[in-house]
Amino acid sequence: MFRGWKLLLLALAVAGPAAAQEIENELVLITPVAKTLTDPTLADFVKYAKERWNVDVRASALAAGTPVAYGRIVEWKGRPEVDIFWGGESALFDKLAEQKLLQPLNLPKQVMDAIPATIGKPKPIYLKDPKGFWTGTVLEPYGLVYHPRLLQRLGVPEPKDWDDLLNPKLKGNVAQCAPSRSSSSHATYEVILQRDGDDKGWAWLKRLGGNTGMFTARSRDVPSVVAKGEFAAGFAVPSYMAFEDRLAGFDIKFVAPKTAWVTPEPIAILAGARHAKAARAFIEYLLTERGQKVAMERGVFPITPKYRVQGAPGSRAEMAVEFTGGLRSYFDVDVTNIYDDDMAQKRYEQVNERFRKEIESVWADLKRQP
Amino acid sequence: MLGFALIWAFLILFVLFPLTRIFYDAFTNEAGQFTAANFHEFFTDRFYLRSFWQSMVLGAAAVVTTSVIGITVAFLIVRYEFPYRQLFSYLTMLPLILPPIVGVLGFVFILGRAGTLNILLQDWFGLVHPVNFMYGMHGVLLVETVHLFPMMTLSILDSLSKVDPSLEEAAQGVGAKGWRRFFTITLPLMTPGYVSGALLVFIWTFADFITPLVLGVQDLLAPQAYLNIMQFVDRRIFRMGIVISALLVVLAIFFVLAAREYVAIKDYSSLAYSRVERRRLSAGKAWLAVGFLSALMLVSAIPQVGVLLAAVGRGWSLTPIPVHYTWEFFEQVSIETPKFIVNSFVFCGLAVLMCLVIGVPMAWIMARTRAPGRGAMDALTTLILAIPGTAVGIAYIRAFNFPLPLIDLPLTGMWVILPLVLAVRRLPYTVRGSYSSLLLVHPSMEEAAANVGAGKLRTFRDITVPLVWKGILVGGLFSFITSLQEASATIFLTLGGWEMIPFGIFTFYIAGSQSQAAALGVILIAVCALSLYVVNRIAGTRVGGLFG
């Protein structure tokens, strides 16, 4: 009996000590997640930390595309300049864990249990790492964007599915980013290839190349050039990036086709992080109702069935719901997923190479084809 | 002697070592074995070869366009008198202030597919499909021409005012008139200045990756280097980025060698200054000159106007100018802007200080001593001038990413690397500026001081410095202004908390807010214009000569 009590106390001391535990007064993220999502969450976390631990945390985010962030973490060789890696593909997080560049999250059990292991059929989308090195933070689809007024001018109906981008009237009016430069573009290239198979898939992507008016340098530029009206439609855009342009006052619309890949935006603490406690506190905060709410107002969805995007009429949350087609939670609907991340990562370089050879190098010729 | 050794130590450590590292990387594979396969891949890949060829053509085209405009402007301003000449001599320098990223965005806002001009054409003339002014090689050429023609003007302004007019009069006396006189007398005499200007324009265009990327042009060398380096996951592509950077360095060396006769420091200011008499233009021609310069200024103002409109316009799309106006973007950037501005001033200030500490003695060694290795020093500074910032940034991150002894931190983890890289990049300007100032001080003054017993250092401090400080200060301020806008080398090295204004613009742009980026761009333009004004006040209107 007495022994049992001691054990319980010990367990409590390990599992629920956050309230008593001090955290470091600094926190640095490296992240492909845009500032518009990282800034509000970090700002609110600073307040949260002040209330909870009375610590003034200096929090900052180093913006870097997924490949750059991954590359810098590898180059740091376990002596990272930052504490947290947030966003990108979960397969990359597995790769980092294999290289011993991540440390176990060790989050309280009830926090982790609130997140289902997977979502989607026929292929599962993993929402957390069974080994405990990373967890998903929010759900976010990679879809299409378009400029409604410009489409009207061109006499093109509003797109609903990927195939609508092949409309000949959209020639020269589609913006996209090369799969070697953007993880959302790469994933969506894979969606098409896995939907149609290699031969038909590449033929489809070449036709899209023929309709393309601009290959942007980064995926974030795709909604920007569409919002401005430079191009009428954009391929493979994360929902929240497009929503930011909507919030900035632009007339831009978003649609997630049925087969759109939904990313859990994984997060992990780097091995050797100088502010590991603050890092753990931030991740735990992100998964609280408060943290999820801040994110939901920026056009992404909760990672757990416990919460739904909801707000007062006219609120930013309601605007987001309207923008993403009325959805409040991915756990309310059947998620169709045909994207297999393992397969995609295995042939990552081949797809880039083939894109370069068959689309990028001969883009001028593709454009000339009717 | 110690100083001499220190200067060489600096040059070897911060110039030669990183460049060697890039070549080491380019000639090895992931396993660290020596291989030439990377270069083989480059030279057998049609896409890379096309990028290579197009880069050369674009660079050459930019030299042609900037020459035509730059020489015309220089001639008008130096040789002729017409209304508002003073004002134009100031205004024609303004295009040099073009903040990275947002400068070209400014062009797109006005001349893009949904830009002001196309919308007006559609609204007024019923144009259906927008005219493509920007997306493609021609757009890149337009941006580079507008940005760089003042560099050409500045480069020949100096030589032009040094060309003895009596030579031209003599030519006229024997019947050589107009174009003939220009090609046989004037042009050869300004060749040194012109060649170094052309080299700068060529390398700049060659090395600029931001402008082509914003305009959707990726088949050029610099964008390929940048995009590939940014690709860390696919290690093979990453390696190709390094290979392209190494190639940029090789090309820079090649061009400097090719232009060696003209850009070597001893050749460029050996002529004495002479007063140039300005000819008054007839009323008709005067107004033609004013018309030409006004039109030029109008085109040059496009990016600034575009940036300003984007910074205050909300949801600006498919209308000639924004419909809704707001200060919100300035408010949003104002939280972080003070940090960016402070960082910019501290880092650029430190960089200029380093430039002075190292560059002025270097110039003195070259101008006043017969120390061995002067030629190598000159060659090295000229080379720095020609090496693309992209390659320098990549070289630094590859070379200095190991923990230093004692402090156990890599140099890439310390903010001092930013002023360091800026100092290295701007060192040639300081050396050349100081050198030309030193040439104007007659050595007999220093000899007199030495005769009355003053040591070398004391002579330098008490005699030389007071006589040349103005030229050096202007050189320093000029380096400061260009450092403020630097975005190529620093982008690769910046870590959280060290952001300068251009990197801030870059982060806002990356975050997707062109409006916030534009707001910060307006702030950068203001800061630079103010600095330029200060330089002009100190220097009078003569800032030429800095470019050699």
The token pair that represents A9 in the structure block = 């106390």
Place of tokens 């600029």: B208
Distance CA B424, CA B426 (A): 6
CA-based nearest residue in chain A for residue B238: A71
Give the minimum alpha-carbon distance from A110 to chain B in angstroms, rounded to a whole number. 33
Chain centroid offset of residue B164 CA: 29
Distance CA B62, CA B293 (A): 19
Distance CA B373, CA B448 (A): 27
> Which residue stretches of chain B have pLDDT < 70?
1, 158-159, 161-168, 231-234, 261-277, 440-441, 496, 536, 539-548
The pLDDT assigned to B388 comes to: 80
Domain made up of B2-539: CATH architecture: Orthogonal Bundle (1.10)
**Domain boundaries along the sequence of chain B:** 2-539
Domain made up of A2-137+264-319: CATH architecture: 3-Layer(aba) Sandwich (3.40)
Q: Which residues share a beta bridge with A145?
A: A234, A254
**Mean pLDDT, range A115-125, rounded to an integer:** 93
Asked whether the beta carbons of residue B232 and residue A360 sit closer than 8 angstroms, the reply is no
B91: nearest Cα among B227, B243, B290, B256: B290
Q: Which residues contact A92 (CB under 8 A, 6 or more apart)?
A: A66, A70, A345, B233
**A358 falls in which pLDDT band (50, 70, 90)?**
very high
Backbone angles phi, psi at A103, to 5 degrees: -115, 155
**A171 falls in which pLDDT band (50, 70, 90)?**
very high
Give the angle subtended at the CA of B294 by the CAs of B291 and B299, to the nearest 5°.
Answer: 125
Predicted ipTM of the assembly = 0.79
Asked whether the beta carbons of residue A249 and residue B413 sit closer than 8 angstroms, the reply is no
Two domains, one topology: A2-137+264-319 and A141-262+340-368: yes
| 8 A C-beta contact, residue B213 and residue A217 | yes
Residue B113 gets which letter from DSSP?
T
Is residue A11 predicted with pLDDT exceeding 60?
no
The pLDDT assigned to B69 comes to: 95
Radius of gyration of chain A from Cα atoms?
A: 21
Give the minimum alpha-carbon distance from A224 to chain B in angstroms, rounded to a whole number. 7
The token pair that represents A63 in the structure block = 């913006």
The pLDDT assigned to B165 comes to: 65
Asked whether the beta carbons of residue A63 and residue B315 sit closer than 8 angstroms, the reply is no
Place of tokens 């600006």: B316
Q: What ranges in B369-416 are assigned the alpha helix state H?
A: 374-386, 389-399
Asked whether the beta carbons of residue A224 and residue B231 sit closer than 8 angstroms, the reply is no
Asked whether the beta carbons of residue A213 and residue B403 sit closer than 8 angstroms, the reply is no
| 8 A C-beta contact, residue A226 and residue A214 | no
Give contacts of A245 with chain B, Cβ < 8 Å.
512
Of B234, B403, B513, the CB nearest to A349: B234
Q: H-helix or E-strand containing B196?
A: helix B187-207
Backbone angles phi, psi at B135, to 5 degrees: -75, 105
pLDDT digits (tens, 9 = 90+) for A206-229: 999 999 999 998 888 999 999 999
Give contacts of B234 with chain A, Cβ < 8 Å.
67, 180, 348-349, 352
| pTM score, whole prediction | 0.84
Give contacts of B46 with chain A, Cβ < 8 Å.
361
Q: Per-residue b/e over A79-92, b at no fewer than 16 CB within 10 Å?
A: bbbbbbbbbbbbbb
What CA–CA distances, in Å, run from A59 to A42, A101, B412, B547?
6, 22, 21, 43
Interface residues of B toward A, Cβ cutoff 8 Å, are 46-47, 50, 108-109, 112-114, 135, 213-214, 216, 218, 223, 227, 230-234, 236-238, 314-318, 324, 401, 403, 413, 495-497, 507-508, 510-515
Asked whether the beta carbons of residue A70 and residue B232 sit closer than 8 angstroms, the reply is yes
The pLDDT assigned to B537 comes to: 73
Backbone angles phi, psi at B48, to 5 degrees: -65, -40
Place of tokens 């300003």: B308
A345: nearest Cα among A190, A150, A173, A171: A190
Q: Which residues share a beta bridge with A31?
A: A63
Asked whether the beta carbons of residue B232 and residue A72 sit closer than 8 angstroms, the reply is yes
The pLDDT assigned to A181 comes to: 82
The token pair that represents A88 in the structure block = 């990108």
Distance CA B19, CA B7 (A): 17
The pLDDT assigned to B41 comes to: 87
Asked whether the beta carbons of residue B507 and residue A82 sit closer than 8 angstroms, the reply is no
Asked whether the beta carbons of residue B231 and residue A67 sit closer than 8 angstroms, the reply is yes
Distance CA A26, CA A46 (A): 10
The CATH code for residues A141-262+340-368 is 3.40.190.10
Asked whether the beta carbons of residue B318 and residue A229 sit closer than 8 angstroms, the reply is yes
Distance CA A101, CA A94 (A): 10
Q: Which residues contact A215 (CB under 8 A, 6 or more apart)?
A: A175, A176, A177, A178, A360, A363, B216, B218
Residue B28 gets which letter from DSSP?
B
Give contacts of B411 with chain A, Cβ < 8 Å.
none
The pLDDT assigned to B174 comes to: 74
Place of tokens 């940036």: B307
Taken in order B176, B178, B182, B183, the sign of the CA dihedral is negative
pLDDT digits (tens, 9 = 90+) for A228-270: 999 999 999 999 999 989 988 899 999 999 999 999 999 999 9
**A70 falls in which pLDDT band (50, 70, 90)?**
confident
**Contacts across the A-B interface (CB distance below 8 Å):** 123
Chain centroid offset of residue B423 CA: 14
**Domain boundaries along the sequence of chain A:** 2-137+264-319, 141-262+340-368
Give percent helix, percent strand, percent coil of chain A, each to the nearest 5: 50, 15, 35
Asked whether the beta carbons of residue B233 and residue A150 sit closer than 8 angstroms, the reply is no
What CA–CA distances, in Å, run from B92 to A148, B154, B250, B287?
42, 10, 33, 17
CA-based nearest residue in chain B for residue A224: B512
Give contacts of A213 with chain B, Cβ < 8 Å.
113, 135, 216
Of B232, B315, B515, the CB nearest to A71: B232
Of A36, A150, A352, the CB nearest to B234: A352
Give the minimum alpha-carbon distance from B244 to chain A in angstroms, rounded to a whole number. 17
Q: Which residues contact B60 (CB under 8 A, 6 or more apart)?
A: B202
Give the minimum alpha-carbon distance from B243 to chain A in angstroms, rounded to a whole number. 17
Of A67, A81, A221, the CB nearest to B495: A81
Of B46, B223, B233, the CB nearest to A67: B233
Q: H-helix or E-strand containing A61?
A: strand A58-63
